[in-house]
């Protein structure tokens, strides 16, 4: 059977590649299969990662899985950047900041996660879209923030929460059972 240590490294590499492949598939689903409602796309990669992390934080009572979520966010973000016309790193940066801030916020508050999930989802989507808009603002065209916030960000957050909550509840039920 050989030395178990090299096999462990192999397993790690395989698991890591599986994670990368999984995030590429999730990104592909986001940009192709997910419906665009009223011109607003659903940020599936963000919602999937965040809901999974929220359930993990709730189950383990720690932020231990945040590091893995950040790494997955990097994979998913780079995949999204490759699939779209955005500069490489844009989605990765937005995803990681959104997930990190949401996780830190949830980790610090001693409140039932079911109650925290909605503000966590809303806050994460807000951070995600604002970071992407800032990149657009600084690299392409200056935005007018007030109408952008009122007429684009708010509907985007509402839609993300509407889609994210059932996803969170489903993952919560699945992982806890």
Partner 1 sequence: MRDFIDNAPQLRTTISNEAGGRRLGWHAAMLLSVALGLLFADLRGWLQPAHSLVEQMLAPSTTRLTHLHDTMWDAGLGLFAWQQVEQENIALRQQISQLQAELVLREQAVVENARLREQLAIQEQRPWSLIGAEVTVRTPDVARRVMTISRGAADGLVAGMAVVGQTGTGPVALIGVVEAVNERTASVLLTTDFGNRLSVRVVHQGDSTLALMQGQWQRGSRLRLEQAEQDSLLQAGAIVVSAGLTGKLAFDLPLASVPEGVPIGVIDAATNDGNDRYADVRPYADPDQVRYVWVILSRDE
Give residues in contact with partner 1 (CB under 8 A).
Answer: 12, 28-36, 39-41, 43, 60-68, 70-71, 73-74, 77-78, 80-93, 96-97, 100, 128-129, 132-133, 135-136, 139-141, 143-144, 147-148, 150-153, 156
Closest CB 119 distance from partner 1, rounded Å:
20
Question: Which is closer to partner 1, CB of 92 or CB of 161?
Answer: 92
Closest CB 169 distance from partner 1, rounded Å:
23
Closest CB 28 distance from partner 1, rounded Å:
6
- Residue 101's alpha-carbon distances to 15, 76, 124, 128, 147, in angstroms, are 26, 17, 7, 10, 25
Closest CB 46 distance from partner 1, rounded Å:
9
Question: Which is closer to partner 1, CB of 23 or CB of 81?
Answer: 81
- Distance of alpha carbon 133 from alpha carbon 121, whole angstroms: 18
Question: Which is closer to partner 1, CB of 51 or CB of 53?
Answer: 53
Consecutive H or E run containing 46? helix 44-60
Closest CB 91 distance from partner 1, rounded Å:
8
Other CB atoms within a 10 A radius of the CB of residue 173 amount to 10
3-class DSSP state of 58: helix
Question: Which is closer to partner 1, CB of 51 or CB of 126?
Answer: 126
3-class DSSP state of 110: coil
Beta strands, E only, the chain: 36-37, 40-41
């Amino acid at each position: 059977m050989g030395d178990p240590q090299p096999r462990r490294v192999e397993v790690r590499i395989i698991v890591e590649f599986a994670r990368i492949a999984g995030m590429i598939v999730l990104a592909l689903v986001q940009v192709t299969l997910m419906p665009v409602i009223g011109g607003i796309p659903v940020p599936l990669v963000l919602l999937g990662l965040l809901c999974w992390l929220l359930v993990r934080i709730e189950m383990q009572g720690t932020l231990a899985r945040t590091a893995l979520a950040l790494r997955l966010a990097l994979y998913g973000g780079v995949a999204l950047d490759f699939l779209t016309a955005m500069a490489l790193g844009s989605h990765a940066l937005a995803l990681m900041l959104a997930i990190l801030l949401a996780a830190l916020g949830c980790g610090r508050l001693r409140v039932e996660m079911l109650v925290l999930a909605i503000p966590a989802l809303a806050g994460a989507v807000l951070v995600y879209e604002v970071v992407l808009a800032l990149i657009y603002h600084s690299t392409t065209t200056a935005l007018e923030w007030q109408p952008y916030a009122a007429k684009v960000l708010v509907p985007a957050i509402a839609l993300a929460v509407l889609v994210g909550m059932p996803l969170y509840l489903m993952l919560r039920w699945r992982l806890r059972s």
